[in-house]
Copies of this chain bind each other. A is one copy, B any other.
Amino acid sequence: MNGTGNPVSHIRPALIEAPDKVDPPTRLALEHKGLEVQNIIAMGLNESCYPPSPKIIEAMQQNLSLVNRYPDAQCPHLTDIVSERTGIDRNCIVWGNGSEELIKGAIDLSLSPGQGLVLPVPTFWGYKSMVASFEANVAEVEMLPDGQTNIDGILGAIHNDTRIVFLITPNNPSGLMVDQAGLDEIVHGVPENVLLCVDEAYFDFGLHAGGPNVLETLKQRNAPWITIFTFSKAYAMAGMRIGYALCSDAKLAQALQKTTCVFNVPILAQFAGEAALLDTEYLDFILDQTANGRDQLFIGLKDLGLEPYPSVTNFVSTPVPMNGRDCLKAMLDKGVQINAWADPGYENHIRITVGTESDTETCLATLKKVLNSA
């Protein structure tokens, strides 16, 4: 304590009560990691197990001496590419420090303290902290027993004071995605005075697995929407902090922009992002490899007698016959970082990120030992 008379009264109570941004299992996993990722098999954070494309590395390398310059938060070159590919107007595209800054911004722009927000759970833990911090009146909608998002539940949870509804597809930590029928139901069912915000962090994997095109469905919605993407997963750029939002209209995009920091996207992330979007061959490589690795992991878990969720992403979750956090700790002790679900009611659930073939083999062998000695 550096001399504080009254250490609490000056802090907004909601923020004291809000959970930490990092959930307890992930905190456990991180504390054994820091920046020393070399010493552990890292299958805990849904990072890409493949390095970024050589073209991404080259793009950063060539621009290292420019980092004394502020980045342009409008990311003009990236915006051109995304606009051309998606058919979304340049003025409806907003860039963020990863997708989280934009998720936060979507809440910030739509909701005052006490107003309603609908959130399907379990999902990315950061949401729990964010919605508490914004003092949202949160309606959590539990996933169905098979892990699918409860679309009817989401629509039923909307009330007069609801300002924003979230849909996360494919979802983390279930790994499942909403199908076209469910998508149609929610896109047209959320009232037109309510903002529908879709989190598509795992978009590329879902599409590769044959999932519906969320954006094309959203374009038919005659009411406000935002859909959010990240370079952290399929582009192997988690460490660079870049994501973007496509918005239904320019006014909404302008409001979202105001919620972000002025110079939020690192200049090297902009060069890297451009290289990433243009290197479609490497993206295909990652998506193909990830699908293979996911099959390997899924089958391996089945072979251990487990019943994993049929994920379409770069991770697989499964119940285990022991406490998930204990499993995480035992695995960490043996040099393999996995994760566990943080939500109450799922204490026996673990989540494993797709690894290289040999890492997945090691992980499965280690898990077998851990389960046997539990």
Contacts and interface: CB of A to CB of B under 8 A. Distances in A.
A85 interface: no
Contacts of A265: 241
Given A12-B112, A261-B101, A7 B249 contact: yes
Contacts of A56: 67
Size band of the interface chain A makes with B: 35 or more
Contacts of A259: 15, 133
A11 interface: yes
A150 interface: no
Contacts of A68: 47-52, 236-239
A240 to B, nearest CB: 5
A192 B50 CA distance: 51
A321 to B, nearest CB: 30
A67 B240 contact: yes
Contact of A65 (B57, B69, B70): B57
A21 B256 CA distance: 11
Interface stretch (A140-148, A204-212, A219-227, A340-348): A219-227
Given A51-B68, A72-B33, A264-B241, A1 B249 contact: yes
A9 B222 CA distance: 14
B4 A223 contact: yes
A100 B133 contact: no
A100 B268 contact: no
B267 A266 contact: no
A159 to B, nearest CB: 15
B267 A268 contact: no
15 contacts: A5-B222, A10-B110, A21-B73, A21-B257, A21-B258, A21-B261, A50-B68, A51-B65, A60-B60, A67-B240, A97-B97, A97-B264, A126-B261, A241-B241, A241-B264
10 interchain residue pairs of minimum CB distance = A239-B267, A68-B236, A67-B239, A4-B249, A100-B261, A21-B262, A70-B238, A48-B68, A11-B255, A4-B248
